Amino acid sequence: MKATMKDVAELAGVGVGTVSRVVNGYRVKDSTYQKVQDAIQTLDYTPDEYARGLKTNRSNIVALIIPTIWHPFFSEFAYHVEKELLKNHYKLFICNADGDAANEIEYIEMLEKNKVDGIIGITYSDIDRYISSSLPFVSFDRHFSENVCYVTSENYIGGQIAAKELLGHGAKQLAYIGGTNIHENETTQRKKGFYAEARAQGYSVLKLDMPEPLFKPEQQIENFLVAHPQIDGIFTVNDFMALDVMKVMEKLGKVAPQDYQIIGFDGLRNAADQTYLLSTIAQSLDLIAQAAVNLLLRLIAKEKVTESRITIPVHFEEGGTTKKVI
């Protein structure tokens, strides 16, 4: 005979209402949750997903829209989001936009028609008018014209830290290399912080701001560096851009940190227990994911949210492309 919710409650030593709360994704004490889960496994109890969804009007599924699953930054972020969701008894549905705005829009329209409880999105295209107030949405590094909550890192402070570190490590001629998106996002604060700190210390900054989508970026970088051979301290919009710069510099016969110093942004590593690929302003993706998930769950629960913008600290990590300070 198929096990019932009442059977689970009796075995776990709790009320049927408590079992219902666990099954439907509501928060209970960890010890209570574990008792109920143990009983569910012992009895091989399977909730009626369709009936449960009708009763609660929830699916306990959250969608994550990311530009590409291939980029280690986004895949690591997805890992931390899923980990945080599982703590709250939610499942993750990943939408890989593959860098295409049309894909992002299709995903949003699909998710609004299908039963997901909310969306966390990393988008860098013009999807503002497709964001509906009826479906909870939390953005990462992008604020929208509608009243959409978002989580971001201390991008401006990160740019300031990069300038301080390069100058503190002996650089004299600073440069910034990055890309510019026509749609405003928080990453533009990185260069603003970098420029401000350099100016405050009495230094100028040479700039290469390439319009996105990038066209032959390595050739543009090479032309820029050849035109300004005096550059000895570089800050880039992200770590991948820094790796492109290092590739071009190697072609020009220069290596870091002997001939120049470079700092990226993000904190890329091949694995969690390995060293950073280069000196970088590291983002705490676990804390960002935690903040985004908690904010979204509050919106799903229809709690009053007063903070529309949550900022997570960044920090400098030495990765071998800046000189040692003696």
Per-residue pLDDT of the chain (326 residues; tens, 9 = 90+): 778 888 888 999 998 888 888 877 777 888 889 998 898 889 888 776 544 554 556 788 999 999 888 888 999 999 999 999 998 889 999 999 887 778 887 888 888 777 789 999 988 666 666 676 678 899 998 766 667 889 999 999 999 999 999 999 999 999 999 998 777 788 999 999 999 999 999 999 999 999 888 889 999 999 999 999 999 999 999 999 999 999 999 999 999 999 999 999 999 887 777 789 899 999 999 999 999 999 999 999 888 888 888 999 999 999 999 998 76
Q: What is the pLDDT of residues 28-83, one digit of tens each?
A: 888 889 998 898 889 888 776 544 554 556 788 999 999 888 888 999 999 999 99
pLDDT at 293: 96
* Residue 212: its H or E element: none
Does some domain include residue 319? no
CB 80: neighbour CB atoms within 10 A?
18
Amino acid identity for residue 152 in this structure: T
pLDDT at 4: 85
| Residue 279: closest CA among 232, 315, 249 | 315
252 with 162, same domain? yes
pLDDT at 129: 66
Which domain, by its residues, includes 10? Answer: 5-56
The enclosing domain of 222 has a CATH number of 3.40.50.2300
260 with 162, same domain? yes
183 with 277, same domain? yes
Q: What is the pLDDT of residues 201-212, one digit of tens each?
A: 999 999 999 988
Q: Which tokens sit at 87?
A: 């703590």
Q: Is 261 exposed, middle or buried (0-12, 13-18, 19+ CB in 10 A)?
A: buried
pLDDT at 92: 94
168 with 186, same domain? yes
252 with 291, same domain? no
Q: State the pTM of this model.
A: 0.81
Does some domain include residue 250? yes
100 with 189, same domain? no
pLDDT at 54: 44
213 with 223, same domain? yes
Q: Is 28 exposed, middle or buried (0-12, 13-18, 19+ CB in 10 A)?
A: middle
145 with 172, same domain? no
How far is residue 53 from each of residues 6, 18, 243, 288, measured CA to CA in Å? Answer: 19, 17, 47, 29
75 with 9, same domain? no
